[in-house]
Structure formats: C-alpha cells, structure tokens
Amino acid sequence: ETGVTQSPTHLIKTRGQQVTLRCSSQSGHNTVSWYQQALGQGPQFIFQYYREEENGRGNFPPRFSGLQFPNYSSELNVNALELDDSALYLCASSLWDRGQETQYFGPGTRLLVL
Amino acid sequence: GESVGLHLPTLSVQEGDNSIINCAYSNSASDYFIWYKQESGKGPQFIIDIRSNMDKRQGQRVTVLLNKTVKHLSLQIAATQPGDSAVYFCAEIFLSGGYNKLIFGAGTRLAVHP
C-alpha cells in the first residue's frame, strides 16, 4: 500500500453539478498531483500542488480547480460537470527533493456523470 | 472491481515464462522513467524507475532497459506469475516550468495463463 487515500471511492453526479474529491497524502510528502484516467487510457495530468500552491497544470479548463492544505491533504473540485468528465480520478503524492520525485498513487475515485 | 484498459494491447503469457512489455516515449529531454502496474479497481503501483543516464536497472524479478537512441523502454518480468496480471504503463518524467511533468504511455495489458 502507498499510504495515499482518496474519498469517496465512487460517485454519481448529473451534468451541471459540482463535485469535490479528496486525497490524503503519504506522510512526509509535500507535493500532490491529480490525474484523470478515462477507460482504456493512461492517466492524464490535471495539476500539481507544492506547499499549498499550484505549480503546474495540464490541458484542463479552469472549471477544474484544487487546493492543498497545510497537512498536505488535497481537494479536486470540478464545476459544471460534463458527461466527458466521467472517469477515474487519481491523486499521487510525492516528495520533491533536489529534482527527484517518485509519485505514489491512491486507489482513485470513480466519477460517473449522467 | 471495474476494468482498466478494455481496449489496450494485450500480452498473453504462460505462468513461469518471461514477459517483455515495450514502450515508446516521445521526449528526448525526459530525465527519468517509471513503470507502473495497475490492477483492476486500483491506482497505478510503482514498480521500478530508471534515470536517463542509465541503460539498465534490475529489481526483484523485473528489469528495465532504456534505449535513448530510439526512445524505447522495456520492462522484463522473470518467471511471470498470475499475480502479475494487470495493465502496465510506462511514464516519462521531465522538468517543465518548475515541476516534474509525468506523461503516461498508452498501457499494455498482461494476461498470465496457468
């Protein structure tokens, strides 16, 4: 086990609604990244937080936003949900140390948008 | 649990045989590479990594080979076991805009038959 936990495990929403997904990082890790994984594909990078600030973002619209808290837990918020947002959402925590970083993934939250 | 990678290429092997999973990467500036294993209903699990200044690294039952000339990565699994059945992703990591950008490959499903 990686020590990274996510909640909830599954979620069903309707188009237009908003959703908040949560992640608890591995102890000692200062960086969290969020990914979207559509069925049959590899994870796609959404954004990364380092010491509570966003320091990198993938090709996702602004309705995808996040937070990282002082205890390094994190949230992913998605507004105005669309059908194509249905996917597995993964968070990964890591320790940024002199440019080296291995990301450890949580089990994911499966989101279904109807 | 849900399925991961319904339409991914599949490598079928007999239990006890060696498996070789291949991956092509795109960015010649990538600093290091990671192989992840993803079982159904779970997040990606770190297997082994290799830095760009190496061409081979061995772990327990696994070996990763890196050929920078043709931008190719492979994962060799010795004495494949049923528990090795999963989807395998390679990921390339390079420093971009102050953070490590992690780009996943398409994935390969490994099916181990008794």
Q: List, for residues B39-56, the tens digit of each pLDDT value.
A: 988 899 999 999 999 999
Distance CA B72, CA B65 (A): 8
Q: Are A107 and A6 in contact (CB under 8 A)?
A: yes
Nearest chain A Cα distance for residue B79, angstroms: 23
Of A59-63, B20-24, B96-100, least confident by mean pLDDT is B96-100
Q: List, for residues B89-111, the tens digit of each pLDDT value.
A: 999 987 777 777 788 988 999 99
- Give residue A77's pLDDT: 98
Comparing A13 with A95, which gets the higher pLDDT?
A: A13
Q: Examine the pLDDT at A99 and tell me if it is beyond 80.
A: no
Q: Which residue of B6, B49, B103 is in closest CB contact with A40? A: B6
- Give residue B75's pLDDT: 97
Mean pLDDT of chain B: 89
Q: Is A84 left (phi over 0), alpha (psi -120 to 50) or beta?
A: alpha
- Closest chain A residue to B98, measured at CA: A55
